[in-house]
Amino acid sequence: MKVSIQGYKGSYSHIAAAHLFGKNVDVIERDNFSSVFEDLKSGDAEYIVVPIENSTHGSVYQNYDNLTKYGFPVIGELYLKVKFHLITNPGTKLEEIDTLYTHPVGMNQIRKFLSENPQIKPIEFDDTAGSVKLIKEKGEKNLAAAASRFAADYYDMQLLKDDIQENGKNYTRFFLLGQSNEVSDQINLANENYKTTIQFVLGEEAGSLYKSLRAFADRDISLSKIESRPILNTDWEYRFYLDVEAHIDDEKMQNTLRELKDYVRELEILGSYKKGEYIET
């Protein structure tokens, strides 16, 4: 079973896929999110795993747009704790390092470590796991990367120093998407509680957003996230994405959706799936 991800093997997307499908999952590496969705569209991949938001840096807007563009159902989610470790070629000592590679977002997470080691020059790279692969290929002891323990193990590199990030509570949420709503028994989705993600475009009536949200509140249905994205080629129109703490088949949810249709002109269910686990890395 092939799973497409954005990034290199050893990346956080790879970790998410490995948790869902097992450590020997067959991943397809792509350098952008559109190519990942195209793999699902073409059938080159049976599933895709993509980040949708980060607790520190917010939403991955391109993937919200891709949910609408491609229309594939969300069938699962998980939350990965993002940690950065100092990774080097075997035998390297800290005092030998003068260059460190990692993703720009990762670089922001390790500023304190860099300030404490001013001899190390930071260089941005397009992927955390890719930075580990890069220094392995170069094979030089003056080089280091900031990435996950999984990446260090995958590329058989030395983990010289644990947890060099500043934020100890940094999580990335990933969506699992498939070509249909069917979920294989081979996928590790243990939670019995459900969440539903929907999208809608408001109607013209005044107060439509308030009335739409009130429909959930009136039935004691919680919303865990609300996101909006501008609609191309319109004058200040937005598409709203909601994460709802209920299964699509719940009676209260069905009644809410029926009322919601009075206030919106487009409504689509993007997926109803088991709530994700929080995974240490």
> CA 240, 245, 250 angle in degrees (round to 5)?
105
Measure the CA dihedral 98/128/106/22, to 10°.
Answer: -140
Question: Could you say which of 88, 128, 172, 196 is catalytic?
Answer: 172
By CB atoms closer than 10 A (0-12, 13-18, 19+), residue 135 is buried
Q: Are 177 and 48 in contact (CB under 8 A)?
A: yes
Angle between helices 128-138 and 12-21 (to 10 degrees): 110
Question: Could you say which of 174, 175, 200, 240 is catalytic?
Answer: 174
Residue 197, both tokens? 């993600």
Specify whether 172 is catalytic.
yes
Residue 109, both tokens? 């997470």
Angle between helices 208-217 and 251-260 (to 10 degrees): 170
Specify whether 234 is catalytic.
no
Tell me which residues are annotated as active site: 172, 174
